[in-house]
Amino acid sequence: MHEIAYKNDIPSELTVEIEKLSNLGYGIARVDGYVFFVENACPEDIVKIRLIKKNKNYANAQIVEIIKQSPYRILPFCRMQKVCGACQLQFIDYNYQLKLKKEIVVDLMRGLGDIEI
């Protein structure tokens, strides 16, 4: 894994571990507090990524290589999964998808009072 001393020091390719899923379905990785949103990444994947766009506080990236596959990663049943976008999480086990989606909703609702999900 990499250390980032300054935001300008971010290499165009690096290896990261995906921590969780964003509300838009991107894998989230952090290196020294800097956030990476990674397309088609599953929590617990360890991946080599290539930066697509770098901002002050985060970067968008795509997977170059899956170094260690998450135990929740599966083969999509639809050949068009990456193309049409209708089922963007199809590469993640369905029961785990439900858990991840609940976590996203709980994170979004946090701070709004005592709401049961």
Range of the domain at 64: 7-109
Per-residue confidence band for 109, with pLDDT thresholds at 50, 70 and 90: confident
Residue 12, C-beta contacts closer than 8 angstroms, at least 6 positions apart: 50, 51
Phi-psi region of 44 (alpha: psi -120 to 50; beta: other; left: phi over 0): left
pTM, two decimals, is: 0.82
Give the chain's domain count.
1
Report pLDDT digits (tens) over 39-92: 999 999 999 999 999 988 899 999 999 999 999 999 888 777 767 766 788 899
Instruction: Go through the chain and tell me how many residues it has.
Output: 117
**Residue 116 included in any domain:** no
> Do residues 91 and 79 lie in contact, with contact meaning Cβ atoms separated by under 8 Å?
no
* CATH number of the domain that residue 40 is part of: 2.40.50.140
**Residue 2 included in any domain:** no
Mean pLDDT for the chain overall: 87
Rounded distance, CA 45 to CA 47, Å? 6
